[in-house]
Amino acid sequence: MNNKDLAKNVLDLVGGEQNISGLTHCATRLRFVLKDDNKADLKALDQLEGVLKAQNSGGQVQVVIGAKVDAVYSEVKNLTSDHIGELTESTDSGPKKRRNPVNVVLETIAGIFTPVLPALVGCGMIKCLATVITAMGYLEGSGFLTIINMIGDCIFYFMPFFLAVSAANRFKTNPYLAVALAAGLMHPTILNAAAQIAETGVNSIDFLGMPILLMKYSSSVIPIILAVWIMSYVYPIVNRVIPKFLQVLLTPMIVLFIMIPVELIVLGPVGSYIGDWLTNGINSLFSTAGVLAGAILGFFKPIMVMFGMHYAIMPIQVQQVATLGATVLLPTALAANLAQAGAAFGVFVLTKSKTMKSAAASSGFTALFGITEPAIYGVTLKYKRPFFAGCLAGGLVGGFYSLVHTTANAISLPGVLAIGTYSSDRYMYVVIGCVAAVVLGFVFTLLAGIKEDTDGNKSKQQATNKVNSNQTAVATEATTASVSSLTSTSSDMLIVSPMTGEIKPISEVEDQAFAQELMGKGIAIVPTDGKVYAPFDGVVEALYRTKHAIGLKAANGVEILIHIGVDTVSLKGKYFNAHIEQGQTITAGDLLVEFDPEGITSAGYNTITSIVVTNMQQYGDVLTTATSGPIRESEPLIKLIP
């Protein structure tokens, strides 16, 4: 399934565009704020090809996509109207739901920081490069190294500007006035005077008898967020008071006249003190109970990722780096990520499934570079034991990192590429921790073992549960893969070919759901004409409305899916003509569907047709008569062994 089709299907399954009041994405998942969460079909989303996991957490419906989330997000945005903002509340969403305050806070933090994440990570990786160059003794004092350091530091010097834009989107207020508030905090009048307090002895400016404390806000987080939040209420109030013909002139002036003094007199100092208290509190916790604190965070980090709560600690990390030059929190995330990578590699060794071996290997390497969702949702959590083996390994190494005072001096994805930004009592401890996390996650998984049949049964159950002819575009595409389970036959059964064409291995189908036999075992045929015939006596269990997929059940209970082409659901029935209806009784040789192979090919779609036994778990084996060569309609194709 391509990105555009995946985006369409996700939109349908969250209740359509009209049900969305906010949307954003992070490194691996789409995050929807919906007007009615009950309209989102999480089960269908969870089973959708291309989706690793779907869940409702932190007040959001989160659809975990993986590495291609940015491309899918772009397609979703292309399919929706401009009024859908970055996790903003719609004004016409009807009665407001009573929401958990904790969820609201988590949602707000995620909505503000996830858009800024690319800049944070980009600058963090540049900072890593500068650290490595400096440590190697190259280009010391050069202009090149000066500029590299500047790039790595720029987001921290101008943090209020970045947060002003994302906060304005989150609180649905004017982004340019929000940037003006950031400029008020960052104006040289304030910054220069704050830098000269030691020389001048002046620590405040009088404003109508009220003191404006001189503070450095260049790396602050909370003051600008508070200021933009308050402005989101002040702006509409002022706009209502001012006559319409004067709004364009007076509203911005009055809002700034109110807000900048308020942020400098009240919000700035309060926000700075809160940030300092949080930063110092975390540091005090790690200094007094560091091993325990590190172990707890290292253990629970993957669990926080599952619920999308890991962004809740982002402001503290940013504040620590901005204020103290380093954070004690990221090393525990590094330990947790690498431990899940080790657990995925453990599954690679233990599993006998070729599909899972491939998934475990690829997601394990992805986790090494700091993105763990594919490993967690696609591998370790499926077997449960490897997931908790990784959590245990992450907890042990997190405690070790705290013991040897490991910190990170930049915000980056916690993976092996960023270890240049970490420091410890000895740098070798950072490397030892990385190796230990992977090795312990691997060894603990081998010791815990996996229940292989759990994965097999789960995959089969996903295929069996996917029929619902009234489902939306993707739900039906996935669901027509199977029908309700029946008792298997007591003797061998031979299924004949439903079409004429060239036999191909199912692995050559450019759809992983079929190629990896997730829908069932079978064979593929490249058709030479455009006719599909009934291969046995039975009933039409499912007929997709675009006629490109048919689910059949034989009189003795054998169930097959005939899926014409790859991604042909996008044709919306064009080039297809059905001669049967869902629920209709059929006789072997009946013409089921006619289609135009040339028209489908000219539209840019592959006509290779998948023919799979969807209740394969009821048979000892599913064999094909050949893996290549020509075949005619009604010639033997698949043999079922009881």
Q: d(Cα 410, Cα 417) in Å, to the nearest integer? A: 13
DSSP H helices in 158-216:
159-171, 175-186, 188-195, 197-200
Q: How many CA atoms lie within 13 A of 246 on its CB side?
A: 8
Residue 245: other Cβ atoms inside 10 A: 8
What's the Cα-to-Cα distance from 338 to each of 366, 419, 440, 441, 541, rounded to whole Å?
Answer: 10, 12, 10, 8, 46
What's the Cα-to-Cα distance from 410 to each of 126, 278, 420, rounded to whole Å?
Answer: 9, 18, 10
Strand 531-533's sheet: what is its strand order?
Answer: 531-533, 591-595, 576-578
Q: d(Cα 354, Cα 459) in Å, to the nearest integer? A: 13
163: burial class by Cβ within 10 Å (0-12, 13-18, 19+)?
buried
CA 110-111-117 angle, to 5 degrees, is: 70
Instruction: Single out the residue of 51, 39, 40, 38 nearest to residue 7, CA to CA.
Output: 51
Instruction: Single out the residue of 633, 611, 634, 614 nearest to residue 624, CA to CA.
Output: 611
What's the Cα-to-Cα distance from 200 to each of 192, 203, 211, 217, 452, rounded to whole Å?
Answer: 11, 8, 16, 19, 72
Q: Looking at the DSSP assignment, which residues form a beta bridge with residue 423?
A: 407
120: burial class by Cβ within 10 Å (0-12, 13-18, 19+)?
buried
Q: Look-up: residue for tokens 């003094």?
A: 261
Which two tokens mark 428? 């070798």
**Is 548 a catalytic site residue?**
no
Buried b (16+ CB within 10 A) or exposed e, 526-564: bbeebebbbbbebbbbbbbebbbbbbbbbebbbbbbbbb
Residue 477: other Cβ atoms inside 10 A: 26
Catalytic annotation, pick one of 128, 434, 563, 579: 563
User: Is 305:376 a contact under the CB 8 Å cutoff?
Assistant: yes
Instruction: Single out the residue of 512, 484, 384, 482 nearest to residue 51, CA to CA.
Output: 512
**Is 26 a catalytic site residue?**
yes
Catalytic annotation, pick one of 25, 26, 434, 548: 26
Instruction: Single out the residue of 543, 561, 557, 527 nearest to residue 633, CA to CA.
Output: 527
Which two tokens mark 122? 């980009």
The full DSSP string for 60-96 is EEEEE--TTHHHHHHHHHHHS-TT--SS---TTS-SP
Instruction: Single out the residue of 62, 67, 19, 70 nearest to residue 42, CA to CA.
Output: 62
What's the Cα-to-Cα distance from 502 to each of 446, 530, 557, 632, rounded to whole Å?
Answer: 44, 13, 27, 9
Instruction: Single out the residue of 185, 261, 170 nearest to residue 223, CA to CA.
Output: 185
Q: Looking at the DSSP assignment, which residues form a beta bridge with residue 425?
A: none
Instruction: Single out the residue of 348, 398, 334 nearest to residue 378, CA to CA.
Output: 348
User: Is 320:409 a contact under the CB 8 Å cutoff?
Assistant: no
**Which residues are identified as catalytic?**
26, 563
